[in-house]
Amino acid sequence: MGSSSLQPSEGIVSSSEELFDGSSYLGVDTRDVTADRLGPLQLKEESGVEVTMVDQDAPAGKAGLRNTTSS
């Protein structure tokens, strides 16, 4: 059930696989909030991460977390 993922240094982190020993599986993909995403996300500060994918069968999906609808 693996998925390809970029390493954190590339700006996108995939939590759909364990990247480090002892990490927890949430079932989300994220990317850093950048200046070009402030408007579409209606944010004032370039801070945090945007959830880009939620595995609805994983803990995050079962807890009600949803991905963003804008691209």
Whether residue 65 is predicted with pLDDT greater than 70 in this model: the reply is: yes
Residue 22 has pLDDT above 60, yes or no: yes
Nearest CA to 47 out of 36, 60, 32, 61 is that of: 32
Cβ neighbors of 46 (< 8 A, separation 6 or more) are 33, 34, 35, 38
Per-residue pLDDT band at 23 (split at 50, 70, 90): confident
- Please say if the pLDDT value at position 30 is more than 80: yes
pTM, 2 dp: 0.56
